[in-house]
Structure 1
Amino acid sequence: MTSPSPTPTSRSAPRQDGSRTPVPFWVAGTRRDSAQSTPITHPYDNTPVARAAVAAEADVADAVAAATAAAEPLARTSAAHRSRALDHVARRITERSDEIAELITAENGKPLRWARAEAGRAAAVFHWAAEETRRFAGQWHRLDTDPQSPGGTAFVARHPRGPVLGITPFNFPLNLVAHKVAPALAVGAPIIVKPAPATPLSALLLGDLLAETALPPGSWSILPVPNDRMPALVADARLPVVSFTGSGPVGRSIREAVPHKHVTLELGGNAAAVVCDDWSSPADLAWAAERIAVFATYQAGQSCIAVQRVFAHRTIAADLTERIVEQVAALATGDPREERTQVGPLIDEDAARRVERWVAEAADTGARIRTGGHRTGAQYAPTVLTGVPPTAKLACEEAFGPVLTIDEVQGTAEAFDRVNDSRFGLQTGVFTHRSDTAFAALAGLHVGGVVIGDVPSFRAEHLPYGGVKESGVGREGVMDAMADLTEPRVLAFPGVTL
């Protein structure tokens, strides 16, 4: 059965005004309205964007019941059927990418250039999932490998663990939803998405595209509900898998609340970049400074792999610092709807105030603010500090703002020790030309990923993505998520030789 051709939907994604009827949510692939709604405002100037209907308890109950009922039918659908549906979504995201980017900017506040990139990445996630659906298969094993073995063969298949609860954050309101939805549907697992209350619109628009496919009823639901109603969803025994991306305290509370469930957590980080002494030519330093400046402040620093800490070898630290300060000071800030803007606001004024407090705390304890260091509403100026004490929040917590610290180190060993001296371990960038340093970083850095010759702000949709320590449990990335959402089953044929 093929997915139907896309047809105009009766209620399209919201325009950027607050006067429309509340945007409906999705229960088992069907739109629903509610008597309750929440306003969505633009982070830059608090102008109304839309109102989003809030799912009632009865709607949530219906979604969970539908996901439970859909588990077997969806798992039995052919790979071709699911792949076509995922390919359709990838194509439609691409076709509507300008509209989607504007919506991301409206609800999240990220500049259009980054919103367009997010839309493109979300399309890639669904495209990869469509391809991997066709390749996702079991493995045959020999049973004559030991003298006492009876001989024969065995087949190891992977089956969905069951319906998935996907909980997503505000900072990538479409792509991080895609990373939950696409792998789940690829393996035939129903999914209920709970988007961040501040940014539900991109996820709801994704529902428009999923509704154009012929996936079985109950395969997916998108439920904007307040965070205080999340524990009940997490605890529901009919949702055996919880995939959460967000803050560390919330993630840990989920794992502690449901230790019997399969829980994947993508949490925070305070990503570092190490600049080695061999990265010393003017071209090298110019490249490192530009990349660090951009990716310390992209998404207003609201990315768990944004550059927060830089450790530069003493022989190049002064030159590199001046270059970074110059690059950061030159970044265009302001209204994210304008094409020139590189750094927009944080998600809200409270977030910007927190960053302001942390910078002030560092300055009060001896740090030097080299550029930035001031706030206007939800906008915090891109900021560089040196001499930040290691006990300051900017050094040991996740800033989640456009703030960067730079420290001088005596060598690579000290730099790696400083990177590892953290509760987090997501990714690290190492600027070096030496292959031995690259492999030393792979062996010695306690992180989930190392990027050579560039910043840590790197994620390929098909590679495993995640961290160690308090940066999370498990891995995302389409193929790894598909494996994570399934469990192996063994079919043995003792004495049967192929």
Structure 2
Amino acid sequence: MLEKTYPYYLANQPQTSKTMLDVLDKYSGKVATRVAVPDAKAVEKAIVAAVKAGTPMREFKPWARRDVLQHCAKRFADRRDELAEALCIEAGKPIKDSAGEVTRLIETFQIAAEESVRTNGETLNLELASRLDGYRGFTQRVPIGPVSFITPFNFPLNLVAHKVAPAIAAGCPFVLKPSEKTPIGALIIGQVLAETDLPKGAFSILTLDGKHANPLVEDERFKLLSFTGGQIGWDLKARAGRKKVVLELGGNAACIVDADQGAKLDYVVERLIFGAFYQSGQSCIGVQRIIAHNDIYDALKKRLVAATKKLIAGDPKKKETFVGPMIDEAAAERLHGWIGEARKAGGKLLCGGNRKGNMLEATLMENVPNDARANRLEAFGPFALLTRFRNFGEAIAMVNDSDYGLQAGIFTDRLDHAMRAWNELEAGGVVVNDVPSFRVDNMPYGGVKLSGLGREGVRYAIEDMTDIRLMVMRERG
């Protein structure tokens, strides 16, 4: 069960407040718990504490950082059921998906623990000419200093982990603003971090709304801003000044199903259903556009419709539930409106399409016009559309005809098609023989075009949170 109230964290310490934020059970709509909300003075104190912690965190030895991260992973495992229940309630995520996210939280901290003692430099050969005899170069990676993080509602544990764990591994103090819709997971992470020997001021977790988070974006004392969320990220980048900025801003992921997949449609359908509808489609790499070869299109469509109709929707606390609520009614109403627009423009509804509150049925459509919002923008809900292609070049062009480019998928047995997809698809990642929704927490993750800039994945995040420092040494006889 959730606690009645949760504190925020300022310079490693829990803090109460007269101002409280209600956190809703996303399925029932009732208040599930309340969290303390910091004021502007607390934000300034958090920044000052992070700046003061810069040197102690830099001097915090790699083995000590590893021990902190290992402690966290162990404690998350101890609290696995509590974390899954909290996630199910505050995000409306089906309990199976919630349990899976807790597993990834643990794994992300374990990966960071391993990487914390591997932030190595290199030796450079500088003897490129006779005048350079006796010169050698050496590099090391050093923490850049205080960093700020803003995270979204859809993965309240693991997307927080992908910022917090690399920061600890790199030796950077941080200030985190989790989504005000789903703050509990981050605050439980704060509870566990508070058990460790991190230097004072190493972390603050502030349950702010967006308009009060401006200092995390604009304050020059932060050396990096890492933001995961919507297209507002580009505005944040413009306001961020001289600091580094990493943006993960979503997509409308496409998945190609090649002509040779006729005998493997059971597997393809299973994976497409997962990719399109897991956690109610509220994933940046959820399958939104299914692009199938004409030879297998009708058979694939028939099986997809049948499988979608079998999905169980309802209370996310029940183990059999596959499709739970969207994060709020406004989100469901938005996507429901896009579905209606697509139908009026000539799109054909294959199944689903109905809404009750923030519960939107798993929906499949075909013949959706290219300029429809359901095609061009990020649906971020239980929705996918089908389109047919006749030659592989056409499929590549259809995937690339998007303002987004996070990840793409392709089901094919042809190596030349897999390599062409890897070479030509405009995306940060290409997944062969699985859906673009696939992610392992040590791989580089990020996109191009409107999907953002920079990469997450623990080692790649550590690189952004460290600078290369060079030493040149001349040997003297």
TM-score category, normalised to shorter length: over 0.9
- How far apart, CA to CA, are the structure 2 residues paired with 1:259 and 1:450? 32
The residue that corresponds to 2:72 in the other structure is 89
Deviation of residue 104 (structure 1)? 0.4
Identify the match of residue 274 of structure 1 among 242, 248, 256.
256
Aligned residue for 1:261? 243
Equivalent position to 1:347, from 316, 327, 341: 327
Partner of 1:420: 400
- The alignment status of 1:36 with 2:19, answered yes or no, reads yes
Matched, 1:233 2:216: yes
2:154 aligned residue: 171
Q: In the alignment, residue 176 of structure 2 is paired with which amino acid?
A: V
Partner in structure 1 of residue 7 of structure 2: 24
Change (3 A) 1:496 1:322: farther
1:99-248 aligned within 5 A: 99-146=82-129, 148-248=131-231
For 2:373, the equivalent position in structure 1 comes to 393
Amino acid in structure 2 at the alignment position of 1:88: H
**Alpha carbon RMSD of aligned pairs, Å?**
1.2
8 A Cα contact 2:220 2:242, kept in partner: no
For residue 28 of structure 2, what is the aligned residue in structure 1? 45
CA distance in 1, matches of 2:66, 2:348: 54
Where does residue 433 of structure 2 map in the other structure?
A: 453
AA of the residue aligned to 2:281 = G
Distance 2:63 2:176 in 1: 24
Offset at residue 259 of structure 1 (A): 3.8
Aligned to 1:467: 447
Letter in 1 for 2:252: N
CA distance in 1, matches of 2:432, 2:145: 38
Structure 1 residue 16: Cα displacement: 3.8
The whole-number CA distance in structure 1 between the counterparts of 2:127 and 2:262 is 56
Q: Deviations over 1:354-393 (max 9, x none)?
A: 0110000000000111000000110100000000000001
Is residue 286 of structure 1 aligned with residue 272 of structure 2? Answer: no
Preserved CA contact (<8 Å) 2:219 2:240: no
Residue 494 of structure 1: how far off its partner (Å): 3.0
Q: CA deviation at 1:254?
A: 0.7
In the aligned structure 1, how far is the partner of 2:181 from the partner of 2:313?
A: 22
Q: Deviations over 1:55-106 (max 9, x none)?
A: 1111111111110000111111111000000011011111111110000011
The match for 2:356 among 376, 383, 396 is: 376
Match in the other structure for 2:58: 75
Given that 1:101 and 1:116 are in contact with CA atoms closer than 8 Å, whether structure 2 keeps it comes out as yes
Name the SS for the 1:134 alignment partner.
coil
Give the structure 2 partner of residue 62 of structure 1.
Answer: 45
Whether the 8 Å CA contact 2:430–2:436 is kept in 1: the answer is yes
Corresponding residue SS for 1:315? helix
Q: Could you tell me how far apart the structure 1 residues matched to 2:119 and 2:195 are?
A: 24
Distance (Å, rounded) in 1 between the aligned partners of 2:382 and 2:246: 27
Q: 1:411 maps to which residue? A: 391
| Aligned twin of 1:3 | none
User: Shift of residue 453 of structure 1?
Assistant: 0.5
Instruction: Name the stretch that deviates more: 287-296 or 488-497.
Output: 488-497
Secondary structure in structure 2 of the residue aligned to 1:294: helix
Q: Secondary structure at the match of 2:295?
A: coil
The answer to whether the 8 Å contact 1:245/1:266 transfers is yes
Q: 2:346 aligned with 1:366, yes or no?
A: yes
Q: Which residue of 2 is the match for residue 5 of structure 1?
A: none
Equivalent pair of 1:386/1:407 in contact (CA under 8 Å): yes
Distance 1:146 1:450, change over 3 A: farther
Task: Measure how far apart 1:418 and its partner are.
Answer: 0.4
Aligned amino acid, residue 257 of structure 2 = V
Report the alpha carbon displacement of residue 475 of structure 1 after superposing the two structures with TM. 0.1
Distance in 1 of aligned mates of 2:476 and 2:374: 62
Q: State the AA in 1 paired with 2:39.
A: A
Give the distance between the partners of 1:255 and 1:129, measured in 2 at CA: 26
Q: Which residue of 2 aligns with 1:332?
A: 312
Letter in 2 for 1:332: I
- The C-alpha deviation readout for 1:131-165, integer Å capped at 9, x for no partner, is 01111111111111345534421111111111110
Contact 1:25 1:223 in 2 (8 A): yes
Q: Which residue in 2 is equivalent to 1:312?
A: 292
Amino acid at match of 2:307: Q
For 2:129 and 2:348, how far apart are their aligned partners in 1? 66
The answer to whether the 8 A contact 2:225-2:243 is kept is: yes
Mean Cα deviation higher: 191-200 or 40-49: 40-49
For normalisation by structure 2, the TM-score amounts to 0.98
Note if contact 1:152-1:496 (Cα within 8 Å) is conserved in structure 2. no
Gaps of 5+ in 1: 1-14
1:251: which partner in 2? 233
* 2:468 counterpart SS class: strand
Partner-residue secondary structure (3-state), 1:316: helix
Letter of the 2:57 counterpart: L
CA deviation digits over 1:264-313, x for unaligned, max 9? 001110001000112221xx111111111121011111101000001000
In structure 2, the partner of 1:12 is: none
* Residue 435, structure 1, aligned to residue 418, structure 2: no
Deviations 1:451-475 (A, max 9, x none): 1101000111111000011101100
Q: Which amino acid aligns with 1:197?
A: E
| TM superposition shift of 1:233 | 2.5
Q: How big is each residue's C-alpha offset from its partner over 1:319-375, in whole Å with a ceiling of 9 and x where there is no partner?
A: 001111111111110000111101100000000000110000000000111000000
One-letter amino acid matched to 1:444? E
SS in 1 for 2:6: coil
Q: Distance in 1 between matches of 2:72 and 2:274?
A: 31
